[in-house]
Structure 1
Amino acid sequence: MINKVLINASNLHFGGGVQVAASFINDLYDLGKFDISIVCSTAVLNNLSKHIKFDKFKSFNEFNVFGLNKLKKLPQDIFDGYDLCFTVFGPFYFNIKVKKHICGFAQPWIAYPKNKAYKNLSSFDYIKTKIKFSIQSLFFRQYDHLIVEQQHIKNALIDIGYNKRIISVVSNTVSSIYDSPESWESIVLNKNKLKHPITLGFIGRDYPHKNIKILIEVNRILNEKHNFYCNFLFTFTEEEMKRNNLLDLDDFLSLGVISIRQCPEFYNSLDGLIFPSLLECFSASPIEAMKMNTVVFASQYPFISEVCKTAAFYFDPTDANSIASSIVNAFSNEKIMEEKRRIGTKIASELPKSHDRTIAYLSIIKNLIK
């Protein structure tokens, strides 16, 4: 009997989830795993390799699912009737008729319910966020199996009552696109808008735990206390820039949302990645930067240091002076900067490849079907 397997990435529309899903589907194609059905969002579809022939898969559908509020019913012919569904990252808020359901977990707000990121929220947003993640946690607890990206997340989930027997760890990694320069696409950057020779950048979306607003104070301290000037470059929408009060600041600018194929060139345009996050399960940005020989400035928290080790310049993300000092000290010593680049490139080269992650996913799928 042939088992019917569905890979579900219909609910992923931006950020690292899109990258992982696209990389996974690309790998399935390269490995010749055509006995699998795929349903993915437009965002994931747009980031797939151009050489993929979709009709080779058992079935391939483009379909967009947006939370709970924009769709009342899923088409049964796309989602129902499978022996197993793997939702690359959840939660997936709809009850689909499958025998087993695996779901990727990347929600640190649930794993760490007592975190510093809550301090950045208003009272109303605090309550709203608590309710939101309580609901999400109920969905996550219903899946037959969860896949997390680092051991510390599995440990954290066990500590809050999740069943350790249904949690597997599969490390995230650098997308295969970084090993294929012929697939890279250029970014549209008006260099006339860059006022200073040094550019620090942040790639990703504007989530509260990313702690972006502190960079306004960091920039003030750099200018007034250290006589140090740099550009801060983002991949935010205009609305995200406005929400962080960055839209009218001369030293802050954005390219807008970029594709996976443009990410390598984004890192190439930087003198350093700035990553002041307060909370992560795992972030690919620092290791992608290291892969591209870009210096990393990041929060001194385990979700970064476990991967970057001694390759990054670390700071206290709640202290603007700490962030500013780490930047100034780094750029005043090119020898140390070059050593950090060397260590980072070595670490990135020794990490598992995307194919390794795909093989691990397939192994979990196979074992759960058995």
Structure 2
Amino acid sequence: MNASNLHVGGGVQVATSLIGELTRMSALPPSLVIWASAAVDKNLRQLGYDLSALPAYEVVNSHGIRLLRSPLRHRFQAFGAVFTVFGPLYVWNLAGVNITGFAQYWIIQPGHEIDVGMGWRERWLSRLRFKVQAAFFRRADHLVVELDHVRDGLLRQGIGKPASISVVRNCLASLYSQPASWQPVAVPDSDADIKLGFVGRNYAHKNTRIFPAVIDELQQRYGIRASIYVTFTPQEWAHCDEAFRRKVINVGPLFVAQCPSFYQQMDAVLFPSLLECFSATPLEAMALEKPLFAGDRPFNRDVCQQHAYYFDPLSAASAAQAIAQVFLAGGPKPGAMAAAREHALHFSSPKQRAEQYLSLLMQAASNKHVELKET
């Protein structure tokens, strides 16, 4: 089980949840080997998981396409099957079965509105990068996606066949039902009327650039003073322009165990993303009974259904209007928040996801073993 390539963002959260669930399983296959990046390992240890319960666990760090020139690539050849939690796996000819998690939506929806808005050089480099990634995804024997619409997109692009793509729904980490495991995070105070939070990286598709305009719209049109809190790395924060840094508050990147505490200190969660295969942020917000203001996109409606307040993510005015309608009417209704929490808690199960991932890996390894014996 390979999580050596996950160093930031939602991938670290998923791998932490997955490996954490595996530590709780009895009678794990003795041949199971788990590789975790240093970032995943740090989160696992902060959450107190018993890593000694795993048959073989090692901290290994791989870094994207650099794996092609790294001696580490040879170590992958020792396994009958490799399940890379989120790929691509940059090994061209893997001796064992190559199972890869797919979460790169740009590949299955080329010509998206973000792509169109890029300069020619950035657009060219982006397209080249995703062509390379697509080539490695095509090398996988089996792909794993989180929602049906992603599987459909892969098939439209000719990546994989129906029988070689599995849908395993993402879910809320069990952490969110274990308050004793939550760790504090310092959130600077402000004199705002409402605090809006965003958990995630500052990628272009996250559409965080609208945040200053949302703040202005709320103040000027509705008389609401809002603060927006983000969780950017120092490098991401340094690349934000001065106007953004003047209006938005950065608390820095969070450990997985700090995310619930961050949400608790917010009045609502703002999620204007334009492009996702799946994001756990909506489920996390709903689980903590925080009103979720989300971009009106299919990937959000698939997950949140009627439990989010939707707006046009390309319009700061639309986002401000959605927020103002809720808070000028006295805030979210407790009954609606309770229903959203129930929806999030029952969307899918971390234990079930771990069992499905493990089953795919061990079945592939078993089939490979039989194949080698017959040969």
Query: Under TM normalisation by the shorter chain, which class is it?
Result: over 0.9
1:171 matched residue in structure 2: 169
Candidates 9, 19, 29, aligned match of 2:13: 19
1:181 corresponds to which residue? 179
TM-score (norm 1): 0.92
Displacement of 1:66: 1.2
Cα drift, residue 171 of structure 1: 0.5
State whether residues 34 and 56 of structure 1, in contact with CA within 8 Å, keep that contact through their aligned partners in structure 2.
no
Partner AA of 1:307 in structure 2: V
**Greater share of helix:** 2
TM-superposed deviation, 1:246: 5.6
Residues paired across the two proteins, number:
362
Pair 1:243-2:200 in alignment = no
- The reply on whether 1:104 has 2:108 as its aligned counterpart is no
Change (3 A) 1:164 1:293: same
Point out the more displaced range, 344-353 or 138-147. 344-353
- Change in Cα spacing, 1:100 to 1:251, as seen in structure 2 (3 Å) is same
Give me the whole-angstrom Cα distance separating, in 1, the residues matched to 2:13 and 2:307: 24
* CA distance in 2 between partners of 1:111 and 1:248 (Å): 31
Kindly state the Cα deviation for residue 205 of structure 1 after the two structures are TM-superposed.
0.5
- 1:307 Cα deviation after fit: 1.2
Q: Against the structure 1 CA distance between its residues 293 and 243, is the aligned structure 2 distance closer, same or farther, given a 3 Å change threshold?
A: same
- State the alpha-carbon separation in 1 of the partners of residues 78 and 311 from structure 2: 50
2:349 is matched with: 353
1:283 corresponds to 2:276: no
Find the partner of 2:77 among 67, 76, 80.
80
Q: 1:336, CA displacement in angstroms?
A: 4.7
Corresponding residue of 1:232? 228
Task: Quote the Cα distance in structure 1 between the aligned partners of 2:90 and 2:97.
Answer: 15
Q: Does 2:292 match 1:296? A: yes
1:111 alignment partner AA: I
1:4 paired residue number: none
Q: Counterpart in 1 of 2:372?
A: none
Greater mean deviation of Cα atoms: 153-162 or 116-125: 116-125
Maintained 8 Å contact 1:230/1:251: no
After superposing on structure 2, the runs of 4+ consecutive aligned residues of structure 1 that deviate more than 6 Å are none
Residue aligned with 2:253, SS:
coil
Counterparts of 2:331 and 2:202 in 1: how far apart (Å)?
33
Most deviating of 354-363 and 69-78: 69-78
CA apart distance, 1:359: 1.3
1:113 maps to 2:107: no
Match of residue 358 from structure 2? 362
Aligned pair 1:136/2:133, yes or no? Answer: yes
Aligned pairs for 1:275-354 within 5 A: 275-334=271-330, 336-354=332-350
- Tell me: CA distance 1:249–1:37, structure 2 relative to 1, closer, same or farther (3 Å): closer
Please say which of residues 357-366 and 286-295 is displaced more in the overlay: 357-366
Question: Is there any run of 5+ residues in structure 1 with no aligned partner, and where?
Answer: 1-6
Query: Structure 1, residues 170-224: CA drift from partner, whole Å, max 9, x if none?
Result: 0000111111111110002232xx1313100100101110011112222222222
Change in Cα spacing, 1:197 to 1:222, as seen in structure 2 (3 Å) is: closer
Deviations along 1:31-70, whole A, 9 cap, x unmatched?
0326211111000001115544434433221111112348
Q: Distance in 1 between matches of 2:93 and 2:332?
A: 53
Structure 2: gaps (5+ residues) = 368-375
Alignment correspondent of 1:151: 148
The question of whether the paired residues in 2 share the 8 Å contact of 1:102 and 1:146 is answered with: yes
TM-score, length-scaled by structure 2: 0.91
Aligned counterpart in structure 2 of residue 274 of structure 1, from 264, 270, 274: 270
- The RMSD of aligned alpha carbons is 1.9
Measured after TM superposition, the shift of residue 268 of structure 1 is 0.3
One-letter code of the match for 2:6?
Answer: L
User: Deviation per CA, 1:86-132, whole angstroms, max 9, x where unpaired?
Assistant: 00000121347432010000001012113122134222111111111
The one-letter amino acid of 2:270's match is I
Question: How big is the shift at 1:76?
Answer: 6.6
Indicate the SS of the match to 2:229: strand
CA contact (8 A) 1:234 1:253 kept: yes
